[in-house]
Amino acid sequence: MSSRFLLSLIVVMALAACGGGGDSSQDQATPAVSNKPIVIAHRGASGYLPEHTLGSYELAIRMKADYIEPDLQFTSDKQLVAMHDESLDRTTNVATVFPGLRNGHSKYLVSDFTLSEIKQLTVLPTGTASNSHPGFTPSMVVLGAATMQAGVAKFVAFTDTGMTTIDLADLSKFAAGVGVIIDYPAFALTREFVSQARAAGLKVHGWTFDKVDAIAANDQYHRYLSMGVDGLFTNYVDLAVLARDSYLAAP
């Protein structure tokens, strides 16, 4: 595992369970509440890895935490970053990368730096945490598009300056999977792309499924599931779960 952890936009959010009362139909539709106490990962697995990093979140998930507690701060350009403190002093090397305080403040406030500047920082372990954990290597899913060139599957990564085409074999050296845009005519996700990506050791997740009509959504999910995709980025989780389960249950 690399010793360098970059501050990142939060990708794992804790979902608060809520119960209701009064309407009997709602009560009947609400799942029974478990008496089993939940485990909440404080800033991820922050006792082992630097807090609020993708590695810390993933390790907490692998350790079977029920929820992950995120904290958010705004940058100077109004972007959200996963960060507990209002300042960067305690958990990053900000003083080394950007010597000199800003705007008359006594600390390096998150709100004094742009997202681009914060991405240049290294997150430092605190307390009992370190930059690695025995037996753990973080995975990575890269977002982009699928393309075929002379029968060979390639991945198209979207960057701030344009698009970059990457061989799947090269991508598999640092990523565990790819998030591929769906229903985009210029970059069609096909069964052959999924097959070649899997052969290269990559999982394929389609993004973003956003149809709100249940029938149309079900057809869309089933179409991509039949290609062999491994995951579904969706705005409508309930429809995705129904479609996935009905697809798997089909003879």
As annotated, the active-site residues are: 42, 84
Q: For the chain, what is the HEC assignment? A: CCCCCCCCCCCCCCCCCCCCCCCHHHHHHCCCCCCCCCCEEECCCCCCCCCCCHHHHHHHHHCCCCEEECCEEECCCCCEEECCCCECCCCECHHHHCCCCCCCCCCCEHHHCCHHHHCCCCECCCCCCCCCCCCCCCCCEEEEEEEEECCEEEEEEEECCEEEEEEHHHHCCCCCEEEEECCCHHHCCCHHHHHHHHHCCCEEEEEEECCCCHHHHHHHHHHHHCCCCCEEEECCHHHHHHHHHHHHHCC
